[in-house]
Structure 1
Amino acid sequence: MPRPVIDNPILNSPFLAPERHWVLDENGVPTGIHAEGRRSSAFIVPVPPSKHKQADQGSLDLDDSWGTPISNDYINEVRSKVAAWRSLGDAGLDRTVTPVTARLLRYWRDPDRQRRLFFCQIEAAETAIWLAEVAPKLELDRLRTLNAEANPGLLRIAFKLATGAGKTTVMAMLIAWQTLNAARKKRGSSRFTDAFLVIAPGITVRDRLRLVAEQT
């Protein structure tokens, strides 16, 4: 069956929450049909390639079996909870987060700011803030339990963004959020921190981080 030709693959604005997505077939290939709403998060359990069919190096054969998609139920649930909190607007900020955090979020969300942030960047920061300042203790206990099942002995919270989405900016947003709040809190408080460890995975990222440091 021939693959559909999609003249314009862009369905959503990068500055707004996704409202539509392309429907994929069983091999993960876009069908040319779009559906309303955001695509649910899922991860793929890869299927080992057949020993009798090896793709050429550098090729991408989308017709091969791409694995079994499994829904990221917890991520989808957190997305919904963060979206519900976001929908409360300024009133929700005043009731749930520190004044410093509220001021930062208003600045980041401002559509008229000089360099408008992508929705995915704001959502990543919102999720970190929601987990740290808004979510009930039972939610955090549940997160620790899920983390222990996947990665015993080391509590980690990660944010996954696509290439080019501005991960370095998100890192700066999180550092600013923690540092400014730590400066306003009483000495000895463990809720916020002003100490950070930044690990660059390669020379390119290291050089970009160095450039950011020189510009600040």
Structure 2
Amino acid sequence: MALHKDFPQSPHAILDPGIRWFPADEALRETSMEKLMPPLVSQLRKKVKEFRDGGYVGAADTSKSLLNWWFNTPHLLPKADGTMVEFAYYFAQREALETIIYLYDVVGVQDKHDMMRFDASGLVSGGMFDETWRRFVVKMATGTGKTKVMSLALAWSFYHKLYEPDSQLARNFLVITPNIIVLDRIYRDFQGLRIFFDDPVLPDNGFDGRNWQDDFQLTLHLQDEVHITRPTGNIFLTNIHRVYSGEDIPPSPDDGNAMDYFLGKRPTGATTDSKVDLGMIVRNIDELMVLNDEAHHIHDPRMAWFKSIEDIHNRLKQKGAALSMQVDTTATPKHNNGAIFVQTVS
């Protein structure tokens, strides 16, 4: 599995689809590359390259402004010693956002049928998609900046909904983490909206005629500390094990932890075992985007976590809305049987 001879060393270099890494010997590139990649990725990389090279034609004005700010504008950030250093997002982070925006703005993806047109394998069927809402999976190795991708996707959705008259995106966000360690790390990044200001996520006021930083009004709610005071501008950050739908889902032997199924449900304590009532959240808002870190934990439609997200979507539909989008970031976008998530787009 050697790299192409022209593969660059810099993680910031823009990669041509023809020299990308794939899990086989270089001699098989021409005959087997598309067969060994997630089925949608090969075609999407080519389309997104055209989208990038063409100056993001077809993107909404808000999206185009953000893409140009993030990836085509020089950024100098202060170091601890007071000196300035140039900052640039990794290409993998850039391509993830470009792909999501291309699929939403240019392609107009609504459901699995819109996704299936990019299948290079000819083997993808509608039955491989468990969800009925927009779900994009981004494969990123541990340590390559999944939190940065989530922060960019969150800001894009917020501004798109705020500035674009017909936007179907959201200004409320449910951020789900796989465990308390990741929760604490993301909380440190999101507390006080730190990552959005420490990184060049928010354009300067006046950039392309918008007051970006003044308009970015969000409140972070951690775990059980949910106090919704306004219908938009909320980030709900929670550990996956605290998520439930407000109507108890019967435990299943296929759940990640089957103890409740075999031994009965444990009593709920006041702190460590308390839950986040997503039903309560949805009753108070009309728009929501879901962001999952290490999202291979939320893949099985039989699991309570998947059912909880499905329940949010169904409750929003009853109100004439829908779950705007689900973005999953994970290093291992695979089912338990080893099959890749067909929703993998980058």
Q: TM-score, normalised by structure 2?
A: 0.42
Q: Is the 8 A contact 1:131 1:140 kept in 2?
A: no
2:105 corresponds, among 106, 117, 133, to: 133
CA RMSD of aligned residues (A): 3.5
Q: Which residue of 1 aligns with 2:14?
A: 17
1:104 corresponds, among 57, 61, 66, to: 66
Q: Deviations over 1:126-150 (max 9, x none)?
A: 0000000011569963316857321
**Larger RCO (alpha carbons 8 Å, 6+ apart):** 2
2:115 corresponds, among 143, 147, 152, to: 143
Query: In structure 1, the residue corresponding to 2:114 is in which secondary structure?
Result: helix
Assess, with a 3 A threshold, how the Cα gap between structure 1 residues 16 and 77 changes in structure 2: closer, same or farther.
same
Q: What is the letter of the counterpart of residue 182 of structure 1? A: K
Q: Is the 8 A contact 2:96 2:149 kept in 1?
A: yes
**How far apart, in 2, do the equivalents of 1:191 and 1:176 lie?**
14
2:52 corresponds, among 62, 82, 86, to: 86
Equivalent runs, 1:1-216 vs 2, <5 Å = 11-18=8-15, 20=19, 40=33, 70-89=36-55, 93=56, 95-110=57-72, 112-114=74-76, 115-135=87-107, 141-143=113-115, 146=124, 148-155=126-133, 156-186=135-165, 189=166, 191-216=168-193
Gap regions ≥5 residues in structure 1: 5-9, 27-32, 43-69
**How far apart, in 2, do the equivalents of 1:103 and 1:191 lie?**
18
**Matched residue count:** 169
Q: CA deviation at 1:205?
A: 1.3
Q: CA deviation at 1:175?
A: 0.6
**How far apart, in 2, do the equivalents of 1:181 and 1:210 lie?**
24
Q: Is the 8 A contact 2:96 2:138 kept in 1?
A: yes
Q: What is the letter of the counterpart of residue 10 of structure 2? A: S
**How far apart, in 2, do the equivalents of 1:122 and 1:210 lie?**
23
Q: Deviations over 1:155-204 (max 9, x none)?
A: 43211111211000100100100101111234xx5522112111011122
Q: Deviations over 1:75-97 (max 9, x none)?
A: 100111011111112xxx3x412
Query: In structure 2, the residue corresponding to 1:163 is in which secondary structure?
Result: coil
Q: TM-score, normalised by structure 1?
A: 0.64
Q: Deviations over 1:47-106 (max 9, x none)?
A: xxxxxxxxxxxxxxxxxxxxxxx34342100111011111112xxx3x412222111101
Assess, with a 3 A threshold, how the Cα gap between structure 1 residues 205 and 164 changes in structure 2: closer, same or farther.
same
Gap regions ≥5 residues in structure 2: 77-86, 118-123, 194-346
Query: In structure 2, the residue corresponding to 1:128 is in which secondary structure?
Result: helix
Identity %: 25
Q: Is the 8 A contact 2:103 2:109 kept in 1?
A: no
Query: In structure 2, the residue corresponding to 1:86 is in which secondary structure?
Result: helix
Q: Is the 8 A contact 2:157 2:169 kept in 1?
A: yes
